[in-house]
Amino acid sequence: MQQLEQSFDVQVTNTQQSSPEPVHKITIRSQDYMATQDNTGQSSTSSSTRTQTVDLFSTFDELRCKELKRFKAYLSEKIMEGFEPVPRGQLEQCDETDLASKMKERYGEEGAVRMTLTILRKMELNDLANRLEESITLTGQ
């Protein structure tokens, strides 16, 4: 598999509040994509990897500062069988992009999504969890 040599910057604002939240900036890095060769020898981006990664970034971008801090606190605890906690010290300086990447490294693509869904539900952020689950289901993952 080849790595694509590009990245995308995305800026997000919360327009549903009377005073919009600060703009969040995420960078989707080349290592967040996997390229495969089709039968013509052409490289193409794996949509399942890209979509799950983008879905995680989008989900984390919707968390407010306190919610992100609480998410990291849950991530540093043993909350799912077979998923070891991430030491708090490794999470303190993580922004949304780093958090998604660290979770992918530690738990794999599907594990990161499962862990995210579990934590969001523990935080009673069911709407956000349902949207993440729906977006993954809609893309055939």
Q: CB–CB of 116/55 below 8 Å? A: no
Beta strands in 46-109 (DSSP E): none
Query: Is 80 in contact with 86 (CB distance < 8 Å)?
Result: no
Q: What is the mean pLDDT of residues 61-68?
A: 93
Q: Between these two residues, 19 and 43, which has the higher pLDDT value?
A: 19
Closest by Cα among 99, 45, 36 to 67? 99
Phi, then psi, of 26 in degrees rounded to 5:
-120, 150
Reported as a pLDDT band with limits 50, 70 and 90, residue 135 is: confident
DSSP codes of every residue in 61-72: HTS-HHHHHHHH
Is the predicted pLDDT of residue 132 greater than 50, yes or no? yes
Sign of the C-alpha dihedral computed for residues 107, 50, 62 and 139 taken in this order = negative
CA 125 to the chain's CA centroid: 15
Whether residue 92 has pLDDT greater than 80: yes
Q: Is 24 helix (H, G, I), strand (E, B) or coil?
A: strand
Domains and CATH numbers, the chain: 8-138 (1.10.533.10)
The rounded mean pLDDT for the chain is 77
**Helix/strand/coil for 107:** helix
Cα(75)–Cα(85) distance, rounded to whole angstroms? 6
- Predicted pLDDT at 112: 94
The residue with greater pLDDT, 47 or 118, is 118
What is this structure's pTM?
0.63
Partners of 26 in beta bridges: 10
Q: Residue 131 has what pLDDT?
A: 93
In this structure, which amino acid lies at residue 72? K
- pLDDT surpassing 50 at residue 46: no
